[in-house]
Structure formats: C-alpha cells, structure tokens
Structure 1
C-alpha cells in the first residue's frame, strides 16, 4: 500500500510485496525461490505470464540419480535444487511494466531483514522442528537460525543481516551503472545470475555434501553456469471462456490448466443449479477434479518429447467425453484420457498406508506402499514449506496475480554469505524416464504454483489465488464457482466451507497418493457428509476453518469510476485485504 500511495503502480507494488514476503514469511518462501506471475497491463490490454520457475541443472540427468541408487528425488538438501527464478521474474516485471527503481522496491525488504520483523507462531514452530537437524547437519543454517533450547517466542523480532547485506549490495551494483532505470535493473539481474550471488551459489553447491530426506549425504548439481544460462520469460496464458469470463492460467509446466479442465468438464453439467453445500455439488466437483488431475499426472510437464495438446484437452468434445465418466458414486480409479489420440502414461503411484481405498491405475503396474502425503507435513515427520500469494490492482486498472514460493529455510542449507537457501522445487521431477515431468537437464519442474486471473466480457476483472500445493487449483476453483454461480462476493466465496481431494500422487516428496480421500471442513452439514459417504467417498472431516488460504481482488468500471474490491483468507494468519 505504501508503494501505491507513493505513486507506484501494481507492478511496483507487487514486486516490493514479493521481496518483503521473502523476509517476513521465510517458512513459506525465500530469495532463493520461484514465482509464476500473471499480469494485465492497461497499456497492452492483455494478460501475460511471467515464468519465474527456474530450470533443473545441466548435470541433472537420469543417469546421475540412477548411480546414486535413488528412485525418488529427495525433498530436502542440495540435490533437488533448481535455478532460483523469483528475483529475475520480479525484476523483469519491474523493468518492463513498473516505474520505480531497484532501491525503491528492495528498501522495505532490506529494512525488515536488517532491523527485524515480529515472528508469527508458525515460523517459530518451523524453526523448532529443524533446529536439531540444523545443529547436527546444516551448519550454515545453524549460523543464522536459533538452535535447540534457544527458540524465540511468537512476536519476538528476528533479523537476517546477511540477506540485508546481499540485497544492499545488489542495490549498490545497480546504482553503479550509468543509465536509465532499465539499465540499473538489468545490472541487478546480472549481479544475481552472473555476479556475486551466482558465484556464491556455485562455490557452495559444487563443494558441499549434506544430509537430505533420502537419509544420506548428497552433493549438489546446481552451478553458476546454470544461473547464467537462464532468464525469466514471457508467455501467453492458457485460457478458457466460461460463464461470460475468460479464465487465464499458466501453461502445463504448472498445474494451472487443471482448473481450466475442471471448468471445461463442469460446463457440461448443471453445476450452476446445485446448492453449494450439497453432496451433489461436492461430488460433481471432486469427480471432475479426479479426471483433470489424472491428466495432470499423465500429460503435464516441461517436455518436448510428450507435449500436451492443450487445445484438445480443453475442447468441447473432450469435455463431453470426460463428463460422461462421472457417475453417481465415487470413482476409485485414476483415469487419464487419450488427448489428440495419444496414449497417456502415468508414473508409479505410492499409496498412503492408512488409506481405506484401493486405487486402480490404468496402464500402471502394482503400486508401492509408502506413507502419508499432505502439502505441509507428512507421516515421516518432515516439515515441508508452503507458499504465499499476492494480488494487486491499481488505480489505472493494471493487475498482478503471483504465487511466490520455494527457498523455504527448512528445505535446504543456507548458502554461506548470502543469508538464504535455494529452492528444492526439483522434488517434483519423477526419477522415471519417459514422462513429461521426468528429470532431465535444463527442464522446468511441473510446479504446483498457480496464480489465476479473469476477464469479464473481455475487460480486466479478477485476480486471485492461494497457497496449498496440490490443493491450490481445487480451492481456487471452488472460489470461482461460488462467486460466479452462487452469487457470493469475494469474502463470502473465500469464507465458504471448502474441501479437497488427495486421490492422485502428491507433487511433494515422497509423492504419495491417498486414493478417494476427501477432506472437508467441519462446517458441512452431517447430512452432506453422510450422503457423500453413501456415494463411496472416503470422507475425512477437518477443523471448521482448515481449508484454503485464498485472496482475491476485482475491478469494475461504472461510468468513469473504477470500483476496487478485495477479500482475504480468514483461516490461519497473515492474510490481508487492503485498499483505498
């Protein structure tokens, strides 16, 4: 808000907000993370994607992991590192669409890192969970974060002067360049990807060997050349017209198109006439999700060998075919479709031990058995990072929707001298050849990060999204259906009772599936819960406010007056809607 009130636009504000989130929510994202961004510029009058998802190292071959005896990518440590893409994505957007300088957008983050910020309880919990491991195995992280028996309390100030020094040095290098604002931003980008930041990452990853979630010490593969060879890029979004709106998502290197596929399937149903808390509504949405996410497992990824024909996947003919597969009872199968007459191929599935159901996977051999799989914790005691989300609309009508994540402090050791660690997004690669999301050099992992944007009758209208791993496009879909079909305003749609399925493989280590598991907030009526159980769903009831972390904002023109509205998550902590 301070950036907007000083005359900055949505792109300036989103960049500054993104850099601050790296400091004040280090358990959810960090400077070494990634970010996909959707933007709408009033000057260009179109939605664009900025891909801030870095690629795998050039040395990340299937043969390398075979030699290590691994059949699944570790979720922590050095091996799953990808190029940290967030910095370049924010700076590319700032250069091409913003108005402010490198100093302007980094100053708040530098101040919080240098002077401190109050810890929320979840950060303290995360620090406590990894303190012993840091002290025993990750000395570079133990030098910054508190050790066992020395935990701060919620509300205490926490500082990270090394990050403050890193970003201050970047400001200095930017301002050492004679030239305009764009030239200074490009200088900052070079400092990160070709200069002192890349050199520090290269030196550490080429020499260190640390304990990771495989239970072994492993060395890293990421190099300075990997950083120098990569830049954030612009792309056209994947889109679908639905109920007078054009919904825009990132491409199939993300999970974004699953929301579009679900909408495509649901457009051939009477979903608009179903009561939002009814068993009929929940069943129809969940069964459409099972079909869309089965396609995600079989088809999505950054692969030239087996690219997804997205036009075919979103066609009316395919939607009608898929809609016909939704019956009156819960499906126990994972059923990807034949898209453009090509045969799908699924990865091996790892089932949750306590699942009450058996998953039938077409075309896949007998699955192996492992443990639990939720986006932030698992039965192995591993604490995973989650994600942030930020939406901005400014007085001119520019819009940003971004989902920064990765570089969680608990996921990999701090790079000496920089104050932050590197993303472990590479855990989303399969160590199984021949899949669209198989490990390969210089490839983007199939990320769960998935911001959303919509035009209404061709005009910029809605930006929204949520943290939550594999749940992101499930909760984002529910929000949209409630808003468009049930007449809910933004806050009502965010607050409405929510649910999610875990029917397919988790995108996070150890990549397990909980077939037919349906998790629902406790605010659903007993009649709805019982009806869903009678339909065959494996219903698990959570807390009354346990599902979703959504935020959203809209704009509408009435004559010459622009009305801006926003809503934010009432669950958990640190979800805000602000405006003037």
Structure 2
C-alpha cells in the first residue's frame, strides 16, 4: 500500500497537521524566530478557525513535549474538569439516565486556551500577537471552507435556525449554509481573539505579563462572564430532544488552571514512548505495546491476517482495561503502575487465542475486581429529523454510513533547537453546543464520556476530568527525541497511531510510508461518545486489504467490515534522524488535507 508521498526532510524545522493552513502558520512562526512551542500554539489557534466542526476555542487539548534545554518530557493537561454543580443528582432529577452528548449539560471548563497559554508562558519566546495573528487573520478575512465543514453546517442548519440562533448568526451567513470551498469568515470569533489580545497588551510590554492577562480575560474576564450569563441561565435543545440549562459557571472557569505533569512512558524495542496520563485514554497505547512486546511482529507480514489478528486482540484487552480502570487519578486510586507492569501484562497476554475474542475481558490489577459501567439502551431514532439524529451522536461531525470517522485535529512540530511537541486539539466543535452569545465560541461536551454509576474512576462528579480520547505521542531513543505523532479519530486514535508506530519500530518504514500502511481497528468496546455503542468482534479494515487476508480473519472469528480505501485516520508525524541530523515530516494522504512541511 503506497500513496506515493515522500518523507520530507530538512534542517530548520518540521511541521505536520490535519490542515494545510495551520501547518503553514506554524512554519511561518518558526521562520520569524519562534521555537516549536510558539509554532504549535499558533497552529492550534488556526485549527480552531479552519476546522470548527472538529475543535474550537471552547474545547480542550493535551500537549506532550520535549524541551531541549532541560531534556525533559512534560504534558500540559488542557482537559477542563466538570463544573462544581456536576452531581449525579443534577442529571437524574431531570429524568435522564445518562449525560447528553450535546447541548449545555455536558459542558466542561474549556481547557484549550489555558493549556496554550501555559505552554507559551513556560516555553515560548515570541509575543502573543505573533502567535494569534494567523488565527485572527483567517477568522476576520476568511478561509476556504472544507467540504466536511460545509456538510456539517448544512445538516445542522435547521437546528441553528430554529433553536441555536447564535450558532446561526456565526455559521449561516445571510441565513444560508455556506458552500464548500467558499471564503468563510467568522467575525465573532475574530472579535474574541482581538479582545483577548487587546487586554493582553494593556498589561504592558512584558511577554509573560501579556500571556497572564490574556488568560485572566478568558477565565475571569469577558469570556467567563459571557459563559456565566448564558450557560446556567438559558435552556437549549440538546440530544435528549428537550431543553436544559447547563451547569458550568464563570466561577468554575476562574477556579481552574491548566496543569503541567510528567508523562507516562514505556520502553518498546529500544524506543521510549511518552503519553499523557490516565485521565486520558493515552496509556492504552502503552498497554498495547506491552502486550505486543511478547510477539515477534517483525517476522509477520505487515498486512497479514496473523499480524492484524494479533494487534486487534491486544487492543481488545487494553481497551477493556480502559473501560474498567481509566479516569481522573486526582479523584480515584487507579493502579496504573500495575497495568503497565511485566507480570500483569504476561497474565493478560496469555489470554490471546487463535480465535477472535467475543467478550470484553478487563483484568484484575492487584487483585481488584474490575467493573465496566452498563450502557443505557437508546430509543430508536428512525422517526427523527436528520439533524436530530446527528446531535444524538456525540461525535464531532456529521455521522455518515461509513466506518471512516476522522474527527478531531492534530499538530506536531520539531525545531532546529531540538524541541519537539505533539498536540491533539478537540472539543468545542460547532455540533457540540450552541455558540455562547457575543463570543463565537461553542463549549466542549466531554462530560458525555463519563458514567453516572458511582465509584467508577470515570464517574460524573464535581471538578473531575472526563476521560478524554485525545492522545498525542512523543518518542525518545537514547535519550533524544526522534518522533512525535497523533491522529484524529476519537476512540480509534490509539489503534491507528499504533499501526503507524509499529510500521516504524518493527518494520523499519520511514515516517511517510508508515502513515500509508493498511489501517484497521476494532469496535469491540463501547464508544466514549453518546450513544456509547459497541460492536463486539467487529474488525474494520480498509478495502485495500488482500481478499485472502479477509477470509483468514473471518475464519478466525472476526466480523470483518471493509472501509473505503484511505479513510481510517490522518496520522501526522515529525521526527529527527540523529545519524544524519535531519528533521523529518510526514502526513497521511487520508482525508486529502493533512499537510507536512520541512525546510
């Protein structure tokens, strides 16, 4: 399988993202003398403008980075927590048995802006206006609208026009859905960026003082005030088919700040792989690697039934543990060390069989009894309008009759100074919740991933981080950064990026070729997003797979579903070749919009 793109190489900088304009913005910032931290933040803000169906200023982002001056890998947690009013009773007294996937009830503190500000304050070098200029320019003067964005707006137009009227003011210029490829402007969002920048500059000429002032303006100033005036005081239609107020207040925003923490890591075939913590699904990537360490993948053919079966069955075991054990470690005692330990992994690996597993089998770390929350059955939706069916599904964009759902964004950057950063922004998409009046901002609805069952690590409760699917990766070898990568894709991120990484680590592919290898995933476990569907034994494989391999997989008990060619994932990657001292960049051809730059 080869789409023919070259791996890019240079000595100055390397960038890859899910859209060509953020990639160009990141390289522009590097050319202005900025470092990887400046560049990745600039790209992150542009992503909020040009991919509003996948992320926004009201969303969230985890960022994993290597700083050359300290030699440390760190994670900035931009996953905002639930409001203080977020109790089980607050939901059940409304007659609901689960948290809606859209509207205001599942809204959490928007963490993306605080995360970018924390990253810039501690590691950036350029003034804030140089970081925000690109996003402001595209929001104010326009950009070519993606077909996928236009599709989402067209489907949701009746909802916007009749219920989410502030969203209509932003996304229905002249009262009509904009055409794909048309020049789309978002003056409301541009105004918010501009005001944040004005308040930053009012703090004086010091860069860090400006960043702190912008952060205050967002979390304690005019943005928080707009949220407080709207969310807890306004009933809006959501995925339940009813109107509800939200729980988020301005005080919830004022009480929060993005945190910096150590990464979670595991060594695999000499590669030291770093991920965000267990408040995200990220450690599931490491659990899969730990299981796969016991197999000689290199002797298998990369597209063979043996390889696909082995990887998929390891994914089932790792994700079963995610369902039982992952959540906010600040509120639960989570046995992460045991989950990644060799002894526990060996016990789990022994469960793999030649036949596909048909049940979800979480483990018992430290002898604990696992529990997977029950999923509430959904009412049939056939009689609903198309837009009503869409908002009942908590995924970011319009859900079509295909397995190829490439939601969320990614940006990765490496610079000539030796820094490397990976970020996966998401949340606050145009389908998640109505635009907060006067801001151009939709809020993230990540609380939909939580359970109302008490006692689970991912239980709904005040001030808790919902378990996010967002999962950037950074890899060291011999103590030096060699690779950073990510992909859109919700629950499937840590399967699609796993295939990419194995192609590099076990099969020796260059970064670009690795993004183009056969992609597949299992939907064996419940989706993090409403309606939390699962499809036990289902294995989705791109249709470029050899038909004989499909038959072999079916013989092994997999229910194989073929996806259109080049549709699963949009892996973006940068790297460093220490032997040649070259920076590398690659972007998956899937989606026809990912873009890598190296110079």
The question of a shared fold, defined as TM-score above 0.5 by the shorter chain, is answered with yes
Alpha-carbon distance in structure 2 between the residues aligned to 1:567 and 1:127: 30
Aligned length: 561
Provide, for residues 483-535 of structure 1, a one-character-per-residue CA deviation record: whole Å limited to 9, x for no partner.
Answer: 11112111111001110100001000111111111100011101100000000
State whether structure 2 residue 455 is matched by structure 1 residue 429: no
Deviation at 1:273, TM superposition (A): 1.8
State whether structure 2 residue 582 is matched by structure 1 residue 579: no
What secondary structure, in the 3-state scheme, does the structure 1 residue paired with 2:295 have?
A: coil
Alpha-carbon distance in structure 2 between the residues aligned to 1:431 and 1:488: 44
State whether structure 2 residue 568 is matched by structure 1 residue 542: no
Deviation at 1:376, TM superposition (A): 5.0
**1:29–1:385 Cα contact (<8 Å) kept:** no
Change (3 A) 1:512 1:431: same
**1:131–1:148 Cα contact (<8 Å) kept:** no
- Show structure 1 runs of 5+ residues with no match: 355-370
State whether structure 2 residue 241 is matched by structure 1 residue 215: yes
RCO higher in 1 or 2 (8 Å CA, sep ≥ 6)?
A: 2
- Show structure 2 runs of 5+ residues with no match: 1-26, 381-391
Alpha-carbon distance in structure 2 between the residues aligned to 1:287 and 1:320: 14
Which among 252, 258, 276 is matched to residue 284 of structure 2? Answer: 258
**1:15–1:90 Cα contact (<8 Å) kept:** yes
Deviation at 1:379, TM superposition (A): 8.2
State whether structure 2 residue 397 is matched by structure 1 residue 391: no
Alpha-carbon distance in structure 2 between the residues aligned to 1:279 and 1:512: 26
Deviation at 1:292, TM superposition (A): 0.2
Alpha-carbon distance in structure 2 between the residues aligned to 1:352 and 1:543: 28
Deviation at 1:435, TM superposition (A): 1.0
What secondary structure, in the 3-state scheme, does the structure 2 residue paired with 1:333 have?
A: coil
Q: How does 1:178-327 map to 2 (within 5 A)?
A: 178=204, 180-304=206-330, 306-327=332-353
Which residue of structure 2 aligns with residue 367 of structure 1? none
Which residue of structure 1 aligns with residue 117 of structure 2? 91
Which residue of structure 2 aligns with residue 60 of structure 1? 86
Which residue of structure 2 aligns with residue 566 of structure 1? 585
Deviation at 1:270, TM superposition (A): 2.1
Deviation at 1:178, TM superposition (A): 2.8
CA RMSD of aligned residues (A): 2.0
Change (3 A) 1:78 1:372: closer
Q: How does 1:71-150 map to 2 (within 5 A)?
A: 71-146=97-172, 150=176
Change (3 A) 1:513 1:531: same
Which residue of structure 1 aligns with residue 24 of structure 2? none
Alpha-carbon distance in structure 2 between the residues aligned to 1:166 and 1:374: 26
Alpha-carbon distance in structure 1 between the residues aligned to 2:247 and 2:178: 34
Which residue of structure 2 aligns with residue 462 of structure 1? 483
Alpha-carbon distance in structure 1 between the residues aligned to 2:105 and 2:135: 29
Q: TM-score, normalised by structure 2?
A: 0.91
Alpha-carbon distance in structure 2 between the residues aligned to 1:300 and 1:530: 35
Alpha-carbon distance in structure 1 between the residues aligned to 2:212 and 2:479: 34
Q: TM-score, normalised by structure 1?
A: 0.94
Which among 457, 462, 468 is matched to residue 441 of structure 1? Answer: 462
State whether structure 2 residue 183 is matched by structure 1 residue 160: no
Deviation at 1:468, TM superposition (A): 0.1
Deviation at 1:378, TM superposition (A): 5.0
Change (3 A) 1:443 1:201: same
**1:520–1:542 Cα contact (<8 Å) kept:** yes
